[in-house]
Chains A and B, each alone.
Chain A
Amino acid sequence: MIITRVFNWLTDGDNWKDSHLNTGILTQLEAHIRFTGIALAVAILIALPLGMLIGHTGRGTWLVSAANAVRALPTVGVLVLLTVIIAPHFHGRTDTGYLIPTEIVLVLLAVPPILANTYAGIDNVSPAVRDAAAGMGMTGPQVLFQVELPCSLPLIFSGLRSATLQVIATATIASYVPLGGLGRFIYDGLAQQDYPQMIGGGVLVAALALTTDLIFATIQRYAVSRGITGRFPRGRPAVASEVQSAVLTGPEVSHA
């Protein structure tokens, strides 16, 4: 039974530890998180400020479309191409020649969803809210950081989470060029026809993706204002009844 064998592979303590022949799950997991973390950090540094700027100014929206077009590139093809170009420039006992192409590919993958969602989030802020913010005397950066950014957090988070899932899943190709990561088990398992190892690697990738998403979901829950998510305490009605004011029901408007 394949499920049992996958389970056995995953629960075998020796598979988690490094030996002189094999690199264990823990080390590969750490490498996987490292590739993913670097790619996401770089993508956020590029896409978040850019998306905010485009959304705030309304200029350069073509960049969002252009970034979305990049999504159409075949990931493995780009990786191989970049590796062929870049790797020969590095010699000796270093991974850098493989790491750079891998990270470029992952960043290319992560930028479009973050950029598009950040732009859309800022762009979707109600014109009345923006008008009120500027009209009360907020400067451009104040409008952006105090109003537009907090209002667009749900969309920004959704872009971030979708980028993270994609990067975690795709970071397995780091093992296609000779780098580590959880993809190692998938490629090795496939090559050795060791299917429990291959499926086990896949399960680990999925588990990592789900865990990371859960962490982001938790952060999002606390970072986004209740006024935007609509999670109001103790089942209060969304719209309270209109307050009656005694001053207003004077006899001149009442009926006899």
Chain B
Amino acid sequence: MIRFDTVSKHYPDGTVAVDELNLVAPSGQITVLVGPSGCGKTTSLRMINRMIEPTSGSIWIDDVDTAGMATHELRRRIGYVIQHAGLFPHRTIVDNVAAVPLLLGHNKKQARTRAVELLERVGLPAHFAKRYPAQLSGGQQQRVGVARALAADPPVMLMDEPFSAVDPVVREQLQDEFLRLQGDLGKTIVFVTHDIDEAIKLGDQVAVLRVGGRLAQLAPPQELLSRPVDAFVAGFVGRDRGYRALAFTSAGTLSTHAEQTVALGGPVPSGSDDGTWILVVDAAGTPHGWLNLEHLRAGEETVTEEMLYRGGTLATQGGTLRAALDACLSSPSGRGVVVDASGCLIGSVTAREVLDLIEARTAMAS
């Protein structure tokens, strides 16, 4: 547990970066600090490992006042991940990861063995160990940064916009893997981001800070979306709140309709149940896209990938209401495609059915 006890940070020029912050980051959970630039989120984070010293107030880690510890000893017990990874360019990847254990005086061979294990844990193959940071992409460097922070197995991790310098696809991968990793490790994490979507996706609880370093709201993400405490928070969490909140509700087991299909590579059918659209699956039963029978060109007799409409998303059975509704809304036929965990077709649902489900849930909740 990390506890901020009326912590303030004032600069000599009069700037107030953080103003009397009171906050508890519970053990084993991810607490996200989010807010616009200048809200003091990074300052707050860096005061935990005393990269910045608070002007007043105190920060406690498991009932130990951090002000009473030597800074380098405090920091060696805290994992630290920053935006641009900050890997040591002159050291190989394995030695980068082993840096903190070596500082702590651990056996070099053991530290390296563990470093290689950690690399695999964050999704990098072991042969990356002997490479240098300059040989890695930004996303890979960031994975190494996470592995390095984990190397000494610290109970507490501080992450300062760790995924914001990589492209959106890689960012989503890193976020998902981070959540999976945290599911295994259960670290006490304080995570800074300016991206409210990232905050909502990753946080067990989200602290929204306003400019001038004041805490506006501290709540679990779902509550933040459904009950923003004031206009600032409401504005910051943004539009589509109702829709995004659906991502926190499981759709349960959807009752699906059987969907007529045609095989990829097979002959083009002469008609379909609804007269226009037919779902195309491969031999394994994985949906590939929709075929529009009204827009067939002359000479097209077998179903190929090029003919397919691929704009529709898929909902996984047991997934969220948001994914189920999105599958329906994005489907050209109006029927949302539901697949099982391995990606095989189960059937389809309509938007009307999903909305009925949402209304039933809302009625149940109130």
Contacts and interface: CB of A to CB of B under 8 A. Distances in A.
A255 B51 contact: no
A2 interface: no
Interface residues of A, number: 42
Contact of A252 (B84, B279, B316): B316
B261 to A, nearest CB: 11
B86 A126 contact: yes
Contacts of B25: none
Interface in B313-340: 313-316, 319, 323, 337, 339
Contact of A239 (B136, B145, B180): B136
A247 to B, nearest CB: 6
A138 B87 contact: no
B197 interface: no
B90 A227 contact: yes
A116 to B, nearest CB: 22
B100 A225 contact: no
Given A137-B74, A255-B310, A255-B313, A243 B125 contact: yes
Interface string A213-256: 00000000000111110101000111111110101101111111
Contacts of B135: 232, 236-240
A253 to B, nearest CB: 7
B38 to A, nearest CB: 19
A151 interface: yes
A128 interface: yes
A69 interface: no
A225 B335 CA distance: 59
A130 B135 CA distance: 20
B236 interface: no
Contacts of A250: 316
A247 B313 contact: no
Contact of B315 (A137, A239, A241, A252): A252
B312 A256 contact: yes
Nearest to A232: B135
Interface of A: 126, 128-139, 142, 147, 150-151, 224-228, 230, 232, 236-243, 245, 247-248, 250-256
Interface of B: 49, 51, 71-78, 80, 82-92, 99-100, 103, 123-125, 128, 131-137, 139-140, 145, 148-149, 158, 170, 172-173, 176-177, 180, 279, 287-290, 310-316, 319, 323, 337, 339, 341, 343
Given A225-B89, A227-B91, 20 more contacts: A131-B51, A135-B82, A136-B100, A137-B73, A138-B72, A138-B103, A151-B88, A227-B88, A239-B136, A239-B137, A240-B128, A240-B131, A240-B136, A240-B137, A242-B140, A248-B173, A248-B177, A252-B315, A254-B343, A255-B314
9 contacts: A131-B82, A133-B86, A236-B131, A240-B131, A242-B170, A248-B176, A251-B316, A256-B287, A256-B288
